[in-house]
Amino acid sequence: MSGLFDLAVAVARIAIMLIFCLTFVVVLTWAERKGAAYMQDRRGPNRAKILGLTLGGIFHPLADAIKFLFKEDFIPDHVHRLFYQMAPMFALAPALMTIAVIPFGPPVTIAGKTIPLQIADLNVGILYVFAMSGLTVYGVILAGWASNSKYPLLGGLRSSAQMISYEVSLGLSIIGVVMVFRSVKLSQIVASQGELLWGIVPQWGVVVQPLGFILFLVALYAEANRTPFDLPEGESEIVAGFHTEYGSFKFSMFMMAEYFHLVVGSLLVATLFFGGWQFPYLASSGFVLPGGFSIGLPGAVVLLLRIGALFAKVVFFAWLFIWVRWTIPRFRYDQVMRLGWKVMLPLSLLNIFATGIALLLVA
Amino acid sequence: MAIGIKKVARPRRMSMGETLYLLEIVKGLGVTMGHLLRNIVRQENIPTIEYPEVRRVMPPRFRGLHRLMKRPDGSPRCVACFCCSTACPAVCITIVAGESPDPKVEKYPVRFDIDMLRCIFCGLCVEACPCDAIRMDTGWFTPPENTREKLIYTIDMLLEK
């Protein structure tokens, strides 16, 4: 009975997280197109109709999906057939796997059992995230190489160089957070961010690690291949980069992987630097304000507020990804490399050093 | 001529705040968000024309699709003189003349086809016509069609426009 209960809980958690992320990906594609249109004084998608309703073009992702599913699954003659077909899977799978360690709510107690709202509370937490995000580059390189044509290869090469350089600063920018919260377990990091700093400010990662936050955000944009670092698919230079030779559902898998990275990235920023599911000044019994005031709230409301807080943060950061994309032009390739190695890397090392000194002085 | 030195204006050196980019990025984000909010609040100000439903009003002298004029009794005004097809640089007008039943009129066009795929909308046919039988004042540009055959306009289609 107990085993069955555990199984049901595990399946439910995976289902909730996966359905949330996939739905969010679908909505994001719409938000990207519509947001881009309005920022550029256009109208954006507004044609797909269901029962005469367009609802601001919200049905366009559905139409896209149907189109991708029913298109011919074309494989060009000159490609490496096995790797060509593996590449989209390699792009999508690591992104999907990363969500496993992200806590989306506080532990809840059902029928006398404490259930962490997290698919797997791994003790290596952040390391697992980096292991998975390191794998995503394989999808891009495989796609670029297996396509056996010049622009995809250039895109794949660019992306491998870029991802490897930014992976370094991405990892180093996190070390400050790990040092402050003394854990690599994401559930532990989120729990620590509920405490107050000097009794006033919530001890969020962005408060204790402002430089780390900026470095992480920039490196994340480069990792997710989003503008201003979307060199692997620079349309104006190399057609579409690594997915030039892809069509139908394989192309849509690359697109899904890109947006999934965006969701996972937003989840990670929220978890590491913005308190994850922590709502400011909300303890498990209700609001506790610094002046000594407190407002009691039932447990269910607290739980919903906390999950809602994470959701709001994720929506904001996902929107920030889109917002930045339609604001900043693409970097030149040498500028990307210079930023990665000559600015980001020294700054992230400096951040670790400064954090170490600060911790030594405080303790 | 003496060789002079010309000072070329170089871009100003960026200040410390500008080289950090962060503040400038935030400013840029402000600009795009301003556009977004303005366009959401005042949708009517977006310059996009929703084409099939709303059509751009063309200026009065716009050379659009051709039409053939009619006499008061409904017969075509064209007398099949071949002036337009002779003037046409794209050779897109095909006329087959027939003898007119009206004794005052010598000929009338049995066929008058314009191949819109070849037409370059130069308006020379209109200028060549001695009796103002062909005009290009419909204000329409060529609509899309599924087949090439549908874009060869016959005399009936041209008279209806």
As a whole number, the mean pLDDT across chain A is 83
Is it the case that residue B32 has pLDDT exceeding 80?
Answer: yes
For chain B, domain boundaries: 16-45, 67-160
Contact A348, A177 (CB under 8 A): no
Please report the residues numbered 200 through 259 in chain A whose beta carbons come closer than 8 angstroms to any beta carbon of chain B: 214
Find the mean pLDDT for residues A72-87.
85
At A138, the amino acid letter reads: Y
Q: How far B11 CA lies from chain A's nearest CA (Å)? A: 19
Confirm whether A336 is domain-assigned. Answer: yes
Cβ pairs bridging A and B (under 8 Å): 36
Q: Tell which wins on pLDDT, A285 or A68.
A: A68
Contacts of A39 in chain B (CB under 8 A): 32-33, 35-36, 39
Six-digit token string for B60? 């009065």
pLDDT of A27-38, one tens digit each?
888 989 888 888
Number of domains in chain A: 1
Which CATH fold would you assign to the domain B67-160?
Alpha-Beta Plaits (3.30.70)
Q: What is the DSSP letter of B142?
A: P
CA distances A294 to A33, A290, A291, A343, B158, Å, are: 44, 9, 9, 45, 81
Q: Cβ contacts (< 8 Å) between B35 and chain A: which residues?
A: 38-41
Q: What percent of chain A has pLDDT over 90?
A: 2
**Which residues form the domain of A334?**
74-362
Q: What is the pLDDT of residues B50-83, one digit of tens each?
A: 887 888 888 888 888 888 988 888 888 888 888 9
- Which residue in A276, A263, A314, A262 sits closest to A181, CA to CA? A276
Q: What are the pLDDT digits (tens) for B79-114?
A: 888 899 999 999 999 999 888 888 888 888 899 999
Closest CA to A169 of A56, A308, A296, A336: A336
Residue A34, domain member (yes or no): no
**ipTM computed for the complex:** 0.75
CA dist list (Å): A28 to A3, A34, B71: 37, 10, 61
Report if pTM > 0.90: no
Amino acid letter, B106:
E
Look at B39 and A41 and tell me if their CB atoms are within 8 Å. yes
Beta pairing partners, B76: B70
SS (H, E, C) chain A: CHHHHHHHHHHHHHHHHHHHHHHHHHHHHHHHHHHHHHHCCCCCCCCCCECCECHHHCCHHHHHHHHHHHCCCCCCCCCCHHHHHHHHHHHHHHHHHHHHHCCCCCCEEECCEEECCCCCCCCCHHHHHHHHHHHHHHHHHHHHHHCCCHHHHHHHHHHHHHHHHHHHHHHHHHHHHHHHHCCCCHHHHHHHCCCEECCCEECCHHHHCHHHHHHHHHHHHHHCCCCCCCHHHCHHHHCCHHHCCCCHHHHHHHHHHHHHHHHHHHHHHHHHHCCCCCCCCEECCEEECCCCCEEECCHHHHHHHHHHHHHHHHHHHHHHHHHHHCCCCCCCHHHHHHHHHHHHHHHHHHHHHHHHHHHHHHC
H helix runs in B42-82, sequence order: none
Please report which confidence band the pLDDT of residue B124 belongs to, taking 50, 70 and 90 as the band edges.
very high
CB contacts of A35 in chain B (<8 Å) are 36
CB contact under 8 A, A39 and B32: yes
Query: Does some domain include residue A351?
Result: yes
Of A39, A43, A214, the CB nearest to B36: A39
pLDDT at B25 over 90: no
Contact B33 A323 (CB under 8 A): yes
How far is it, in rounded angstroms, from Cα A31 to Cα A37?
10
Contacts of A42 in chain B (CB under 8 A): 46, 48
What is the Cα–Cα distance from A53 to B12, expressed in whole angstroms? 53
**A139 within 8 A of A159, measured Cβ to Cβ:** no
Q: Compare all CA atoms of chain B with the CA of A44 and give the residue at the minimum distance.
A: B48
Say whether pLDDT at A297 is over 90.
no
* Residue B44: DSSP 8-state: G
Q: How far is CA A70 from the centre of its chain?
A: 29
Q: Does residue A60 lie within any of the structural domains?
A: no
Residue A16 in any domain: the answer is no
